[in-house]
């Protein structure tokens, strides 16, 4: 029988309330049910350990100790006692003797093992021909078998809790994204009186703080609060839209009295998406102060393009994948129409396009959209709308050098072409090949060197 004292001297083991309770579990163990093996006990223990707060180092130690146990040790009338020496255990666990002693003491306090000490304190045992233990002194793993049903229940409850927590976290993420989308809408539409970005900051802070939280009550309360904030923000934005007069939201692009006229959002730029003009330019609006047919630059961005010699033909040579016209030479009207088509294809918000037209002029805005779409196609730009919004900010501050941008794109295309010659690959897109074919067709040259 093991000797336990509260104030041990030499050769005695210290005991406290938790180790005493573990010893009682071991004494009450009468073997595992016939349909349960000791490997199942180990598996359920590993699954339940995270929910019981058992450190991974103790899980690894129990797993190592179980390697010395045999199925027959867990039958009725037997005791699953293992007796490896400290030298073997320190070698298997990769720790020192003092660390091993502390680990075994900690495992006893967690209710995972107890000790059956010999007279001289050595771990020793012997088995008969049938494999049963004749005698054994060492580490008793009986508490694991006695707690098997507890491990099963804890593991199942923990798994169910994980699913509920995962759902709550997905709801929290969805609420954060909804708040972020509504805040972006408020900013894009310039709605006043709604502090949307404070709601965004609160949602982001809540998401960060809840990442490691497993308290379902706390997490559920946070999710409900964020969903409530998202609903309130959505109602505020809807109310703000309803308060706006139709004249503040839309204006007609065609004369009054004409049926089925096209509606565009308010901007001092003409509607170019479906406009047709004999010279290739969209028709000028009667209220617009900007005339796209004017050959002279009308904004700083257009002046920068003219300064660097960036005209429709130059742009078509840089981004031929978007330009394929039936005319001899591309025109600004065709480029603007192509840019408006790309705005929809690349999911750029219409307000961002209209702001670009206001700041850069339609020619500059079209060139900006074509450059953005080209970079997005190459994988250099992930979010075209955000990239064009940044170009608008630079244009507003006079820092946008769009002419240099197109010359840089042209230099990059040449570099890639030279690199492809050395590797033997074909870098040109379908648009580039088609553009080259049209150029050769106009000049009457053979297309064999495309």
pLDDT tens string 322-352: 876 555 678 888 888 889 888 988 889 889 9
Per-residue pLDDT tens digits for 5-41: 444 444 567 777 888 888 888 888 888 988 999 999 9
Q: Which two tokens stand for residue 257?
A: 């009295």
Q: Which two tokens stand for residue 236?
A: 């505020």
Asked if the model's pLDDT at residue 250 lies above 50, the reply is: no
- Please give the Cα distance from 420 to 254 (Å, whole number): 50
- Mean pLDDT taken over the chain: 79
Mean pLDDT of 205-213: 86
Q: Confidence class of residue 283 from pLDDT cuts 50, 70 and 90? A: very low
Q: Which sequence spans correspond to the domains of the chain?
A: 4-146, 162-244, 263-449
DSSP letter for each residue of 202-214: HHHHHHHHTTT--
Q: Is residue 4 within 8 Å of 20, Cβ to Cβ?
A: yes
Note the pLDDT of residue 329: 78
Asked if the model's pLDDT at residue 247 lies above 70, the reply is: no
Per-residue pLDDT tens digits for 353-362: 999 999 999 9
Q: Confidence class of residue 320 from pLDDT cuts 50, 70 and 90? A: confident
Note the pLDDT of residue 28: 87
Note the pLDDT of residue 424: 44
- Please give the Cα distance from 331 to 339 (Å, whole number): 12
Mean pLDDT of 400-423: 72
Mean pLDDT of 310-315: 89
Note the pLDDT of residue 415: 67
Q: Is residue 90 within 8 Å of 96, Cβ to Cβ?
A: yes
Between 398 and 274, the more confident residue is: 398
Q: Confidence class of residue 189 from pLDDT cuts 50, 70 and 90? A: confident
Straight-line distance from the first to the last Cα atom of the chain, in angstroms, rounded to the nearest whole number: 94
* Strand spans (E) along 114-197: 114-116, 124-127, 133-140
Select the highest-mean-pLDDT range: 50-59, 112-121, 273-282, 406-415.
Answer: 50-59
Note the pLDDT of residue 285: 37
Q: Is residue 356 within 8 Å of 340, Cβ to Cβ?
A: no
Mean pLDDT of 133-137: 91
Select the highest-mean-pLDDT range: 149-153, 283-287, 370-374, 431-435.
Answer: 149-153
Asked if the model's pLDDT at residue 149 lies above 90, the reply is: yes
Say what the pTM is. 0.49
Note the pLDDT of residue 158: 92
Q: Confidence class of residue 276 from pLDDT cuts 50, 70 and 90? A: very low
Asked if the model's pLDDT at residue 42 lies above 90, the reply is: yes
Asked if the model's pLDDT at residue 181 lies above 50, the reply is: yes
Per-residue pLDDT tens digits for 60-118: 999 999 999 999 999 888 889 999 999 999 999 999 999 999 999 999 999 999 999 88
Q: Which two tokens stand for residue 308?
A: 């660097």
Note the pLDDT of residue 289: 67
Nearest to 186 by CA among 138, 149, 241, 224: 241
Asked if the model's pLDDT at residue 394 lies above 80, the reply is: yes
């Amino acid at each position: 029988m093991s000797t336990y004292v509260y104030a041990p001297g030499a050769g005695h083991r210290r005991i406290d309330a938790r180790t005493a309770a573990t010893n009682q579990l071991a004494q009450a163990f009468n073997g595992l049910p016939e349909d349960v093996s000791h490997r199942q006990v180990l598996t359920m223990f590993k699954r339940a350990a995270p929910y019981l707060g058992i450190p991974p180092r103790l899980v690894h130690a129990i797993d190592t100790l179980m390697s010395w146990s045999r199925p027959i040790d867990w039958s009725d009338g037997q005791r699953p006692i293992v007796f490896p020496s400290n030298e073997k255990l320190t070698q298997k666990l990769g720790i020192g003797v003092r660390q091993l002693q502390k680990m075994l003491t900690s495992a006893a306090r967690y209710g995972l093992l107890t000790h059956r000490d010999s007279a001289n304190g050595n771990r020793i045992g012997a088995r008969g021909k049938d494999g049963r233990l004749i005698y054994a002194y060492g580490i008793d793993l009986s508490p694991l078998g006695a707690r098997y049903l507890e491990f099963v229940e804890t593991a199942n409850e923990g798994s169910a809790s994980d699913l509920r927590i995962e759902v709550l976290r997905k709801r929290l993420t969805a609420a954060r994204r909804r708040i972020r989308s509504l805040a972006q809408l408020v900013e894009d539409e310039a709605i006043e009186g709604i502090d949307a970005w404070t709601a965004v900051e609160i949602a982001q802070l809540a998401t960060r703080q809840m990442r490691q939280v497993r308290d379902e009550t706390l997490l559920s309360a946070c999710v409900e609060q964020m969903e409530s904030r998202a609903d309130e923000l959505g109602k505020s934005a809807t109310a703000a839209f309803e308060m706006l007069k139709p004249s503040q939201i839309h204006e007609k692009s065609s004369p009054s009295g004409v049926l089925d006229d096209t509606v565009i959002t308010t901007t001092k730029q003409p509607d170019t998406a479906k406009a047709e003009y004999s010279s290739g330019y969209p028709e000028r609006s009667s209220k617009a102060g900007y005339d796209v047919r004017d050959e002279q630059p009308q904004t700083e961005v257009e002046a920068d393009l003219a300064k660097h010699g960036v005209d429709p033909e130059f742009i078509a040579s840089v981004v031929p994948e978007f330009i394929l016209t039936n005319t001899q030479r591309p025109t600004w009207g065709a480029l603007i129409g192509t840019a408006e088509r790309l705005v929809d294809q690349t999911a750029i918000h219409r307000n961002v396009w209209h702001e670009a037209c206001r700041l850069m002029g339609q020619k500059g805005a079209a060139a900006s959209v074509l450059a953005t779409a080209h970079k997005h196609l190459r994988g250099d730009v992930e979010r075209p709308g955000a990239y064009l919004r940044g170009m608008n900010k630079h244009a507003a501050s006079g820092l946008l050098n769009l002419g240099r941008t197109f010359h840089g794109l042209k230099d990059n295309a040449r570099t890639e072409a030279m690199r492809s010659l050395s590797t033997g690959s074909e870098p040109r897109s379908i648009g580039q090949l088609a553009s080259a074919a049209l150029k050769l067709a106009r000049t009457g040259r053979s297309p064999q060197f495309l």
